[in-house]
Amino acid sequence: MNVISEIIVGALVLIGSLLTVVTMIGLIRLPDTYTRSHAASKSATLGVLFILVGCLLYFWIETGHISARLILAIVFVFITSPIAGHLLGRAAYYSGVPLSDKTVRDDLKTKQQKKLTHHE
Amino acid sequence: MSFQLLLNVIIAFTWMFLRGIWTLPSFIIGFFWGAVLLFVFRRFFHRRFYLYKVYAIIKLLFIFIRELFKANIAVTKDVLRPKLNIQPAIFAMPTRLESEWEITILSLLITLTPGTLVMDVSDDNSTIYIHAINTDDIDDIITDIQQTFEKAIMEVSR
């Protein structure tokens, strides 16, 4: 394993870990469920992807073995993680979790009220 | 698209039969000539030549990856700023896309765009409700989504 590939693999894993740390800081600092979901659905995805790509490259260079399972894992995480973020936000909204005070506009509220009056 | 692809595979198999060589390179050569043949006879199909669609799908994949990187830079900036100045909002965005899978792909892309998260899709598939982390650039976000994503997805489904 030469120096260049060592540096690339190390950098990938390090960037992935840093992004995961950013996700955690975001989860603590941001004010409400929805903004936290922003941080969790984006940074965590790319963080995990970076670590998996680093792992893939490491075993490829070190042992000459391309792990198909790691590639599949990358694809699955890439597709499912945004949907998880969407579903969490939607479930939170419809079970009445309040938005933070900083929120300035809420178009979804009018839609819900229209629906309620329509039912009555 | 799937019909043309199937036809192309059948032509490749025919090529292998004609040559009597059962190897992967032979299949690839047959597939190439099949693609050329389909391109020549493209006006007999009522859909486009299918390799255009393959190209559009690859382009969409690159948009996905580019947006993921942009989104992460934006989130990192928002989170690590010493003073949080975010202005969350939920806004409605009309969409021209119709079928279910197009809306799904668009929602995936929007969720991976910097600062936006899909909250709900209206029952008639005409409006998407988006939660944005910063309000001051909503109009920019909407035009951006409509210009790049909707166009790229329509390119695939046309």
Q: Among partner residues A22, A102, A106, which is closest to B79 by beta-carbon distance?
A: A22
Tokens 């046309």 locate to B158
Chain A residues in contact with B129 by the CB 8 A cut-off are 107-108, 111
Distances (CA, A) of A39 to B73, B83, B114: 11, 16, 10
User: A39 and B80: CB-CB below 8 Å?
Assistant: no
- Residue A41 pLDDT exceeds 60: yes
How does DSSP classify residue A102?
T
Q: Terminus-to-terminus CA distance in chain A, angstroms?
A: 70
- Residue B68 pLDDT exceeds 80: yes
Least confident of A94-108, B1-15, B31-45, B109-123: A94-108
Distances (CA, A) of B154 to A63, A68, A82, B45, B50: 43, 31, 21, 20, 15
ipTM comes to 0.74
Chain A residues in contact with B120 by the CB 8 A cut-off are 90, 93, 108, 111
- Residue B115 pLDDT exceeds 90: no
What pLDDT was estimated at residue A46? 87
Nearest residue of B to residue A25, measured between CA atoms: B79
Hey, what's the torsion of the CAs at A53, A58, A64, A70, to 10 degrees?
A: -30
Q: Average pLDDT, stretch B123-139?
A: 77
User: A108 and B119: CB-CB below 8 Å?
Assistant: yes
What pLDDT was estimated at residue A105? 65
- Claim: this prediction has a pTM higher than 0.80: no
Rounded Cα–Cα distance for residues B122 and B120 (Å): 6
What pLDDT was estimated at residue A103? 62
In tens, the pLDDT along A73-110 reads 988 988 888 888 888 888 888 887 777 766 666 666 66
